[in-house]
Structure 1
Amino acid sequence: MVKPTDYLTVTALTQYLKAKFERDPYLDRVYLTGEISNFRLRPNAHQYFSLKDNKAKISAIMFKSAFEKVKFTPEEGMKVLIVGRISLYEASGNYQIYVERMEPDGLGALYQAYEQLKAKLATEGLFDAPKQPLVRFPKRIAVITSPSGAVIRDIITTTQRRYPIAELVLFPAVVQGDGAADVLVERLKQVNEHGDFDTIIIGRGGGSIEDLWPFNEERVARAIVASQIPVISSVGHETDTTIADLVADVRAATPTAAAELATPVLTDEILKLQQQRLRLYQAFSKTVALNKKQLDHLQNSYVLKQPKRLYDGYLQNVDQLQRRLLTAQQQLLKDRRQQVQLLQQRLSAQSPLMAVRQAQKDVTEQQRRLNQAMNRLMADRRQKAAQVIAALDLVSPLKILGRGFAYVTDDQQQMLKKVADFKAQQPIELHVQDGLVTAEVVATHKGEE
């Protein structure tokens, strides 16, 4: 018969089972594969999740110190390879695996971390951000690399061959190992704090993904993007591509290529300057010759040699205005005569004697007013004409008559200009400088007859 003292407490049983787990050598080092489940990332803390397959599931815990060494970010449903130990958690009575190391199943942890960071930075747009152009003629170039590697020697050799006037300043850095990323970030900050560099070359020689890993760190990538100085990344060989290469302003396949991208060929630039100087001299000579030709043309212009020609047009305008004035006066007199005739006709049509007398008085008055108006108008026009003639006396077209020219009118004072205006036996008047010459047309000849 079982006594009450033979019954175990839950704590005692749990402690016994935990001791069994702890003493079992096969459970002290377990290599397990499975799918992550119930994972929720807890920054800077212990991580709790489950590992399962199609038929079973086990709880897992990974302490902070171990999780900090994981190069990738675990995700729900990811297949992983886990190394750890199996033990019992007394508070819940559940057995669980304490994870010491974890890596993706079928894909290297570093490569997985590389792809995750690459996707993250691409989503943020760091790869597509505007790139800073390289300074064409750099004065000072900062080189962040190992002082003992072949990288710095290749850069020095190439720069001295291509552009020896550039100053190279080495910022020695650890380019491999756990602390390399922090050193690279610190060197980038130092170069930017100096502020007097034109270009930064950062890089190292080739190697495995583990060797190149500092250039895949997120903090290094963000330091390159934050740099105010253009950055050339030269990490590994041509087939190696790191996160630093993707975020840098320019990526070079080799250190030699980085130096070639950062510097021009001095001899080529001197030759270009000489060619530019020659083209500038030729262009200046052509400009001087063209300006001289224009100056000669202006000096030989008729305006400068014969300035009186400038007044020819004004003299002709005065002549035309005078003719228009005479024509207007004649037309006015003609209109007034027609008005008088019209009034006379209307007067004669009135039969009553008083109307006739009154009309005669009106006609007389109208004639008087007309004469007064005509006299005033003629006086005003004569005065204006005299003023115009006096003002334009020096350039008066009448002086043309003094040079032997004349104009011809008929007995109606109409100017005759063409051969068709003249008729045989027609009396004409020649207007010369000091009077009129009465003549008669004997014959006419047109053109070159």
Structure 2
Amino acid sequence: MTQIRCVRFQCAIAGHPTPWSTWDKEGIIVTPTARIAVKEVDDLRFLEIDEVTFDDAGLYRITLENDYGRIEATARLDVIGRSRYSRSPSARSVRASSSRRNAHIHRRIMGPSTAIGGRMALATGYRGSSVPSCKFYHNGYELEEDDERVQIVVNEREALLCIDNVTEADEGLYTCILQGEHEPLLSSTWVQFQSTEDEALAARLREPRISRSLPTQLQAYERDTVDLCLELECAEPYSYTWTRNGELLPDDEDFNQIDHGNGILCLRINDAFDLDTGEYACEVRTAAGLTCSTACQLNITDAEEERLSALAQHECQPTLLKSPLPLLTTVGAAEVAFCARVYPPEANVQWFVGGREIVEENEDEASEHESFDDDDDDEDNDGAVIKGNGNPSVYL
């Protein structure tokens, strides 16, 4: 473990008057030593620990305070002896992560085709460290439970809305909002009922189809973040599994399984190793048992010398100091803006929406953008302007 490079906690701050900051570990103030440094550069605050040992593991907190208030943020440092492949210790063996695992929706709100007069069940699957509060909305109006028709059930993995004896008035846009010790999680779907039970059954028996498969071959370098993405056409509830060489992959910090909610499924491999080489496959299965699948051969190789040289110019790999915040706006708004803060400032930045990269609109000649259809609602990124590449703050 003595070969590990410096571990750095970073925090971007703002406030007027400028707040003062303190770092602590498990409630004990961190004081600078020959191994531990506390730095301030403009609006950035750093805590750096050299020659990390097992005793450095724990919950770290930065507290900001001025005459008008106080705020704090925490992160946990875990120190482990080996990587997930039981290789010799490396920089990967030290991981700083949030003190609570980020909650996320892994299955967007969906339900089986329903006939008029039947029972509608809409479910949203999520993962997180606690059971959140849940609200369902129909065409913008919050739904309340009653003993006759509407039931809302929330457990550790799923939020469920059931409505009995549905009518045409129950058609429309349904939205589920989950909120707890995290930013609100939102998922929506458009519901239209079938006229008869036979039509509903026929809809449930339609086979899912993969409209954009995984690439047949993909080459990547060690320490890259690799995204394997596919696009699915399926109006019925589905589940999906990712495998590598036939073995099921977990949904964890190393392998993030992402459902963007618009038919795009993604497996994100963080900090790839050469032993991540193999055949990756995704199988989608509907509630009726119908399946489809796609596979990709991923090859991970050692980084090229120029890539290592480029990384050596910085003390750390590119990282987000500030993430874009959730934004609520109205349809047809003249403009919306997102901001992120990156380090180092010269890092290349790409913006994505729903798994698709946003292409900047040329001022002189309008470029063609791919539009994507989600339940007959057309969206595109026409008019997107990206600013700030090469600067600490970047804007969309």
> Which TM-score band (shorter chain)?
under 0.3
TM-score by length of 1: 0.17
**Higher relative contact order (CA closer than 8 Å, sequence separation 6+):** 2
TM-score by length of 2: 0.18
Structure with the larger helix share: 1
